[in-house]
Each structure stands twice: as C-alpha cells, then as structure tokens.
Amino acid sequence: MRPSRGLTRGQEKDEVLLGLIEANASFEQRRHALLALEKRWLREARTERERQRIQCGIAEDLVTLAYSFNRPWAEFGKWLRRVERLGFSNLALRVHVACLFVLSLQRFPRRARAAWRLLADAERRVRCLRRDDPLRAEHLDSIAHAKAQAEVSRPPGT
C-alpha cells in the first residue's frame, strides 16, 4: 500500500469514527461502519499483503472498540484472535492490544494466562529496542501502567 493511500484511508476512518462519536453511536453501529470500510478497501486492494494490512488494522480498531464498550469475551476475543492470526501491524499496536487484554481481565478472568503471556511477549519485544529509542520508554510505561492497574493478577508461571 502506498503511503498516500494509507494516509487517505486513515483520514477517512478517523472522519467516520469522529462522526459516530459525535452521534453517540452504539458499539454495533461503529463496528458496522468499520467493517463496511474494510469491505470497500478490500475490494480496492491490489495485493494480498495490502488486504492483510487492511484486515489487521480494522481488527486492531475493533479490539479497542470492544474494550471501550466493555464487550464480553465473545466479541473482544473474536477480534483479538483475528489480530493474532493476521499479525500485529506494528509494535505500538501489539503493546496497546496486550495492555487492553490485561486491563479487561475482570470481565473474563479465565483468560488471564493468555493475556499475561501476550503482555510478556510485548514487553520482551520492547526491551529489544535500543535504550535511546524514545518509543522504548513510552511502551514500557504503558506496560507498567497495565500491570499496576490490572484487576486480575498474573498467574504463576507466566
């Protein structure tokens, strides 16, 4: 995907989501709008890699949306599994999704082992960044915050 196309799509998605926020749209309306964008963008995609990036980006947005609307595991887990299957689009979103998973465990505590494992993997990847990389400190702060705010503690052995 060319950078200009990605920028245009990002702006389009932001405009759609902002309109839905201003309209106080429900989770279902927002999910439907994101999936409609995905469907249209997939028709326009030229390569399989571009299709995968589109799907992953929308799935990452849907994980965040499911978290912010306190959706049950059936919804949150569906999008989380999709992101994991497609691969995270970048390290920042891997950290973001892992933190959301840990912070949402009070709704589905039986998923604690998987959530903490995902967070540990994200932290390991962040620690591989150079120490002078400003994103390293930012990501480690996010991870520390998630650990401190988690309502379900880390199971032994994870």
Tens digit of each residue's pLDDT (9 = 90 or more) over 28-74? 999 999 999 999 999 999 999 999 999 999 999 999 999 999 999 99
Measure CA 135 to chain center. Answer: 17
- Residue 6 has what pLDDT? 59
Q: What is the pTM of this model?
A: 0.90
Mean pLDDT value across residues 72-79 = 97
How far is the C-alpha of 21 from the C-alpha of 96, rounded, in Å? 21
Instruction: Tell me which residue of 27, 56, 28, 63 sits closest to 42, measured CA to CA.
Output: 56
How far is the C-alpha of 75 from the C-alpha of 119, rounded, in Å? 20
How far is the C-alpha of 119 from the C-alpha of 98, rounded, in Å? 5
Residue 1's pLDDT band (cuts 50, 70, 90): very low
How far is the C-alpha of 34 from the C-alpha of 149, rounded, in Å? 29
Give me the sign of the Cα torsion angle 26, 30, 142, 7.
negative
